[in-house]
Structure 1
Amino acid sequence: MDIFGSSGVRGVAGKGLSPEFVLRIARAAATVWDVDRVAVARDTRTTGQLFANIAAGGAASTGTAVDRLGIAPTPAVTRYCEVESLPGILITASHNPPQYNGVKLIGTDGIELPVRTLERIEEHVLTEQFTIGEWNEIEETTQIETVNDDYVEELLASVDRETIADANLTVALDPAHGAGALTSPEFYRALGCSVITVNAQPDGHFPGRMSEPVKEHLEDLCTLVEATDADVGIAHDGDADRAIFIDEDGNYIDGDTSLAALAAEALSKGDTTVAAVNVSQRLVDVCDDVGATLELTPIGATNIITRIKELWAEGQTVPISGEGNGGIFFPNYRLVRDGAYIGAKFLELLADSTASEVVAPYQSYHNVRYNIEYRSESQRSKMLAAAETYVESQDATPNTIDGYRLDYGDAWVLVRPSGTEPKIRIYAEGREADRAQSLADGIHDAIMSAQH
């Protein structure tokens, strides 16, 4: 696909993502869907209202009615689409910086669209073949005010409220100025937790921290946990479909570690879990310990969702899946990433143990990650060519399902182009920190040398 990446369409607002382009996507999607109603929602980004208005107008121009959901977390929007059996257009750039925005398309089942449907919509975008509603066929636009409240109510019915309440937990929460600020504080308080917040006012400038919940962005949350004696810190990204954790001592918990801890609780012998090609050895170890099968896909929620559906069709049980960035699926609950739900499942683990104790068995690996920006397609091509040359010179057979992954037994390294930003990403992991650093540095230096 030329337009839809690993998680929708994203770009710098007004440049990589223009109002005209959003209009074409909305008209194309509504044309392919050919339904009576479409939902439109957004996150807190400063360009969100602009693009949501354009998307709503584009869908309405085809003759469909539009439900305007306002600002809502991605999982609240997907829930609404499933319950109402209507497709949705969500204006969000998830974890990207504030100058970005994007478009994510959701099906009538409340799940991100499969590749086949996205390809049909993409064809209409490129050829500009749109349904045009006659003047007397234009339907009404309706403001829906209960989306977030209904979402929180369902969350409360879907987790072990009694266990969490009995644990008498103090939660430090950082919603990143995003849509989760409208739902997660209320949700965790309703679970019986004492909740302390930082960056909890909706603000698309992200004044307190950048949207991506990575270690370097969460210093304030770590400090808050330590200063208030909180039992755990929970951080979201801009659309609240991720959760990253801080332990009771204010230490950052890597997303691969929390995924392994949650998977160890959820998986049983004979189950299957799905992860992206940058999967940590931590999850591999959990699957080996419990007798579960691990399936790998290219990076991106769409690819994981597609494989889960295929496994379901084969009669497989898939209680948990996801990536080490805090985006975890609990498919028996709903086939979406839900940061608030992920957080609650982690709180369930704290009934008898501290956060540091819960994750201690999965912290024996060390990770290194690099992001190398490129400014043009020619520079991108040179970088990838250099990466390929480097990979071919190594004493390991590459996995090419998404980029190049080299496994060495004690360590691995992966290089791939980002599906959402103009960056080449490098991931490395090893039992020894020096080993992971060496693998990451080797391919990083090879790519950087190719630019001179």
Structure 2
Amino acid sequence: MDAISFGTDGWRARLDTFTDERVRTVGQAVADYLADEGFDAPVAVGYDARATSEGFAESLADVLADNGFDVLLPERDRPTPVIAWAVVDRGLSGALMVTASHNPPEYNGVKFIPADGAPALPAVTDAIEARLADPRADGPRGSIDRVDLVAAHAAQARDLVDPDLAGLTVVYDAMHGSGRRVTDALLESAGATVIRRRCDRDTAFGGVPPEPSAEHLSGLVDAVAAHDADLGIANDGDADRLAVVTPDRDYLDENLFFAAVYDALLAERSGPAVRTVSTTFLIDRVAAAHGEEVVETSVGFKWVAEAMVEHDALMGGEESGGFSIRGHVPEKDGVLMALLAADVAAGEPLDTRVDRLLDVHGDIVADKVSVDCPDERKAAVVDALGDAIPETVAGRAVEDVVTLDGFKLLLSDGSWLLVRPSGTEPKMRVYAEAESRERVDAILDEGRDLVAALV
């Protein structure tokens, strides 16, 4: 039980630690938590495309059923956002999702989705951790049924976006993950011509972690050019995040994508944006131009989701590619956002919209690096950083320090440096944003050196 710890987005570990025995322990803890909180509606258990995920999901379903809960399993691996929408759509007690997201195949994970479909906040995950116990049978056994959960999610996405993608050509890359025959089918149903890449199930993900980063999407960039496509879209392993490729920019930085889509939404709707502390200030400039505000949160979509609900935000997102919009569950959804990205591109090429935003608001370049740091050293490094804030970074004065999540140093020229501990890996993250590649590199170099001296 000591090996089970819910981090930024559930419990994730290598398979030598992530065992069936421990997974069943999590299932019992969730069953006890739901019962103690008075929930008695069915529970969904979803899973991604990893070789071990379906078996772990069946174990969780078995434990929940032993505790009297009826359980809904999808008919095959499905995206996390499909499971999250099912919780709200069907009025479920909650859901468990077996996934290690973008991690390599030697990892797996599980996260709990509460009844509101949003990511579980620490009060909930702490309550589940406190109930970790050996599985047991308690009362009449519940049923376990295989059901289709995709159709309802697809209908919700089309209702929210109301797309007309006729004449649009999209190259879709599932990265062998659970978005296959879900995201691409949704785009096709709205009229797009879809060219598919890596849309077969491969439990080893073709030897590449299902992380839709620039380094893993060179083939998608080439395919967009080869097919003269309007855009390319990729999902991560459980399809809660996305990346976009455009004809002119190749890999479209997630910060620029966020700004472009938020700007497009504001043409017909209103409302603030929610962004994490690691996400671009360009969102703030777009919001100000429309008379809107921006709410800044700690890193992690659970905090974005909480703020979206509190502030009735039009859109929320993070620089790692997780986004959602008003009217949907407050959880990142790479399937819905793929449809919205295509709809925005059908109205105006994303490159054209981004060019206009940068002409109006100024160029931005953002990047991040990591510094190895054992988990047990992270707190000490953060504490030490508080006493090591420099007066200048890359030749610009530090004008303010934001301590919402780690330390974010706001510099006199509008650029910034952020240092914070990773919630998923034994690393410290170093982020920077400035008006040029050279400035970002200089800021990152100083940030990396600052952290490395303290680890």
TM-score (norm 2): 0.89
Partners of 1:64 and 1:206 in 2: how far apart?
33
Residue 180 of structure 2 aligns to a residue whose secondary structure is helix
Cα pair distance change 1:343/1:376, threshold 3 Å: closer
Cα pair distance change 1:389/1:19, threshold 3 Å: farther
Partners of 1:159 and 1:287 in 2: how far apart?
21
Cα pair distance change 1:382/1:106, threshold 3 Å: closer
User: Greater CA deviation, 384-393 or 228-237?
Assistant: 384-393
Q: What percentage of aligned pairs have identical amino acids?
A: 28
Structure 1 residues 280-307: Cα deviation after superposition (integer angstroms, max 9, x where no partner): 0211211121111111111111111112
Whether contact under 8 Å (1:6, 1:303) holds in the other structure is: no
Cα pair distance change 1:267/1:21, threshold 3 Å: farther
Partners of 2:237 and 2:135 in 1: how far apart?
33
Q: State the Cα distance separating 1:95 from its structure 2 match.
A: 2.1
User: Greater CA deviation, 97-106 or 386-395?
Assistant: 386-395
In the alignment, which residue of structure 2 is the partner of 1:161?
163
Structure 1 residues 300-341: Cα deviation after superposition (integer angstroms, max 9, x where no partner): 111111122222xxxxx4111111222111022332222122
Q: State the Cα distance separating 1:385 from its structure 2 match.
A: 5.2
In the alignment, which residue of structure 1 is the partner of 2:210?
211
Partners of 2:27 and 2:451 in 1: how far apart?
38
Residue 445 of structure 1 aligns to a residue whose secondary structure is helix
Q: State the Cα distance separating 1:386 from its structure 2 match.
A: 5.5
1:373 aligns with 2:377: no
In the alignment, which residue of structure 2 is the partner of 1:11?
13
In the alignment, which residue of structure 1 is the partner of 2:343?
348
Query: Where does structure 1 lack aligned partners over 5 or more consecutive residues?
Result: 312-316
Cα pair distance change 1:45/1:393, threshold 3 Å: farther
Q: State the Cα distance separating 1:189 from its structure 2 match.
A: 1.2
Whether contact under 8 Å (1:248, 1:354) holds in the other structure is: no
Whether contact under 8 Å (1:8, 1:104) holds in the other structure is: yes
State the AA in 2 paired with 1:43. D
Partners of 1:150 and 1:229 in 2: how far apart?
32
Q: State the Cα distance separating 1:382 from its structure 2 match.
A: 5.9
Whether contact under 8 Å (1:267, 1:292) holds in the other structure is: no
Partners of 1:116 and 1:376 in 2: how far apart?
21
Cα RMSD, aligned residues only: 2.3
State the AA in 1 paired with 2:320. N
Q: Which of 52, 64, 83 matches 1:59?
A: 64
Partners of 1:57 and 1:25 in 2: how far apart?
12
Whether contact under 8 Å (1:225, 1:249) holds in the other structure is: no
Q: State the Cα distance separating 1:373 from its structure 2 match.
A: 2.8
State the AA in 1 paired with 2:64. A
Q: State the Cα distance separating 1:120 from its structure 2 match.
A: 1.7
Partners of 1:250 and 1:304 in 2: how far apart?
27
In the alignment, which residue of structure 2 is the partner of 1:88?
95
Whether contact under 8 Å (1:237, 1:243) holds in the other structure is: yes
Q: Which of 376, 400, 403 matches 1:400?
A: 403
Q: State the Cα distance separating 1:376 from its structure 2 match.
A: 5.5
In the alignment, which residue of structure 1 is the partner of 2:395?
none
Q: Which of 67, 74, 77 matches 1:71?
A: 77
Q: State the Cα distance separating 1:27 from its structure 2 match.
A: 0.9
Whether contact under 8 Å (1:174, 1:235) holds in the other structure is: yes
State the AA in 1 paired with 2:336. Y
Whether contact under 8 Å (2:66, 2:140) holds in the other structure is: no
Structure 1 residues 240-264: Cα deviation after superposition (integer angstroms, max 9, x where no partner): 1122111124611000001001111
In the alignment, which residue of structure 2 is the partner of 1:314?
none
Partners of 1:382 and 1:59 in 2: how far apart?
39
Q: Which of 139, 142, 146 matches 1:139?
A: 142
Residue 351 of structure 1 aligns to a residue whose secondary structure is helix
In the alignment, which residue of structure 2 is the partner of 1:287?
287
Residue 89 of structure 2 aligns to a residue whose secondary structure is helix
In the alignment, which residue of structure 2 is the partner of 1:151?
153
In the alignment, which residue of structure 2 is the partner of 1:99?
106
Partners of 1:31 and 1:224 in 2: how far apart?
49
